[in-house]
Amino acid sequence: MFTVSANGANIPALGFGTFRMPDADVLRVLPEALKLGFRHVDTAQIYGNEAAVGDVIAGSGIPRADIFLTTKVWVDKYPHDLFVASVDESLKKLKTDYVDLLLLHWPKSDVPLAERIGALNEVRRAGKVRNIGISNFSAALMAEAVKLSDAPIATNQVEYHPYLRQTKVLQEARRTGMSLTAYYLMADGKVPNDPLLKEIGARHGKTAAQVVLRWAVQQKDVVALSKTANVSRLPENFDVFDFALSLEEMEAIHGLARPNGRIVNPGHLAPDWDD
């Protein structure tokens, strides 16, 4: 397993995401993911499954210190007092004294960004959070967040896949020492059936999905979130560290990007995206 070092955080480069996973799926699949070797688990308050994630980690027999655990504060909890209380509630559900990474889930809010970043710093100083980060921020908002924060920002978690360039976000992340955590890498089901990705996979004895996970983690400072509700697919998602893509293959995959490649774009939450 690769590790991405970003502003003091050592993040396993391949994570297990729990977006849209009901408790029953978390309780069924996450234990198997941990047995397989996943050590980075990503959840959020809005997913409604923090308690199930906490149950699995607590019952896994794996030392808490060996698991990198991320959660995210939802937008309705951004006012200061609600923010701090929501973090305490998340920790209670997750059955832990701290999370390794806490993110602001979306940028658009009536609560000033300075107040939100201040609350992130406050819970970090209190020892409830080891590292802080942001999610779905544009490059301009990344720069603003960095200026407002006393503590370094470890990551910006954003939609990223072969059909969506994130050049400006990646450049800003590298300029400020943070990582990019990629979600929606399968592009809502487009990746597994893509002819180019299947062709590249065939050369390596891998699937198109494995090619894209490898494409992500092979990039500097990029963390990849994988997700499946199918236990039999877990080994496929995890088995991406025994091959490498050539420079030509990496460029060919980058070449799939298109102007309308963005999938996740809720107007009431999203920023003005980078071109």
Backbone angles phi, psi at 166, to 5 degrees: -130, 45
Length of the chain: 275
Which residue's entry shows tokens 């929501």?
Answer: 86
* Residue tagged active-site, from 47, 160, 163, 183: 47
- 12-15-17 Cα angle (round to 5): 155
Report residue 17 CA to chain centroid gap.
Answer: 7
CB atoms within 10 A of CB 76: 12
Q: How far apart are CA 143 and CA 273, in angstroms?
A: 14
CB atoms within 10 A of CB 75: 19
pLDDT of res. 275: 72
Q: What is the DSSP string of 57-88?
A: HHTS-S-GGGSEEEEEE-GGG-SHHHHHHHHH
Q: How far apart are CA 249 and CA 212, in angstroms?
A: 11
pTM above 0.85, yes or no: yes
- 39-37-92 Cα angle (round to 5): 35
Q: How far apart are CA 209 and CA 213, in angstroms?
A: 6
pLDDT of res. 195: 98
Q: How far apart are CA 99 and CA 184, in angstroms?
A: 23
pLDDT of res. 194: 98
The SS3 of residue 99 is strand
pLDDT of res. 30: 98
* Residue 148 amino acid letter: L
pLDDT averages per 10-residue partition of the chain, 275 residues: 94 98 98 98 98 98 98 98 98 98 98 98 98 98 98 98 98 98 97 98 98 98 97 97 98 97 97 90
Where exactly are the structural domains of the chain? 3-188+216-242
pLDDT of res. 1: 73
| 78 carries an active-site annotation | no
Q: What is the CA radius of gyration of the chain?
A: 18
Q: 3-state secondary structure string, 197-232?
A: HHHHHHHHCCCHHHHHHHHHHCCCCEEEEECCCCHH
Retrieve residue 1's tokens: 């397993």
- CB of 226 closer than 8 Å to CB of 15: yes
- The answer as to CATH 3.20.20.100 being correct for domain 3-188+216-242 is yes
